[in-house]
Amino acid sequence: MNADEEYLLGAMGDAYLDVKRSELQFYQKDVSWLEDINEILDRLFGLKGKIFKRDVFWLRKRNKRMAARIVELRGEEIVDGKSFVAGLFDSEGSFYLSSKSKIPVADITQCDKGLKSLEIAKRVLDGLGIKCVINGPYNHKHAKRPQFHLRIYGAARCGRFFEEIPLKHRRKIEKFMSLSKSGGLQTLTLLR
């Protein structure tokens, strides 16, 4: 499995694959990230989806060969995993300062259906020496399913995550950079 395939699998944390209709759908507030996903689809399958605007941006593509390959990929083992974690974080992750201690946190949220993805990400991060925890289940009043969080706490660990994981989502990279400039990650020298 190559890096683009791993990234796409990770990004599926915020996507819907209708196997019956051979249709892939992504929803995102940031259209530039959907354009990045389109570039990956082009490199992998030689096709691009169409991006629509509703409440959020929506990328949609129907293709039998693409859907069949994604189903195959789901059955394969994640080898390197950095791109998988990047795709998962770019689709469902965030950087913020903890409300109680004001320390930086990298957080990836999934419902119970996505717990396996969080466990894969934890295995990859543990292998890189980046300590993280999976918290949950939490029953949020607006969520239909229990929620789980993979969290990385602290400036040094978040900085290491940022250095090791090849994130693509521009707004999330900008958020990390703003935390570093505001003093939340003041101990790091960031080159990206």
pLDDT in tens, 82-126: 999 999 999 999 888 888 878 889 999 888 888 899 999 999 999
Query: What global pTM score does this model have?
Result: 0.88
How sure is the predictor about 169, in pLDDT bands with cuts at 50, 70 and 90?
confident
Q: Are residues 95 and 171 in the same domain?
A: yes
Q: Are residues 69 and 98 in the same domain?
A: no
For residue 157, which of 114, 98, 91, 92 has the smallest C-alpha distance? 98
Q: Are residues 37 and 113 in the same domain?
A: no
pLDDT digits (tens, 9 = 90+) for 53-73: 988 899 999 999 999 999 999
Q: Are residues 47 and 105 in the same domain?
A: no
Residue 182 pLDDT: 61
How sure is the predictor about 187, in pLDDT bands with cuts at 50, 70 and 90?
very low
Amino acid at 165: I
Token output for 32: 């530039």
Amino acid at 69: R
- Does residue 14 have a pLDDT over 60? yes
> Where a domain ends, among 51, 75, 99?
75
Indicate the average pLDDT of the chain: 87
Q: Are residues 107 and 65 in the same domain?
A: no
Q: Are residues 63 and 109 in the same domain?
A: no
191 within domain boundaries: no
Q: Per mean pLDDT, which range of 18-22, 65-69, 78-82, 187-191 is the poorest?
A: 187-191
On the 0-12 / 13-18 / 19+ scale of CB atoms within 10 A, 191 is exposed
**How many structural domains are present in the chain?**
2
In which domain, by residue range, is 138 found? 82-181
> Where a domain ends, among 75, 97, 121?
75
107 within domain boundaries: yes
> Where a domain ends, among 75, 110, 131?
75
Question: What's the half-sphere exposure (Cβ side, CA atoms, 13 Å) at 106?
Answer: 32
190 within domain boundaries: no
Q: Are residues 102 and 156 in the same domain?
A: yes
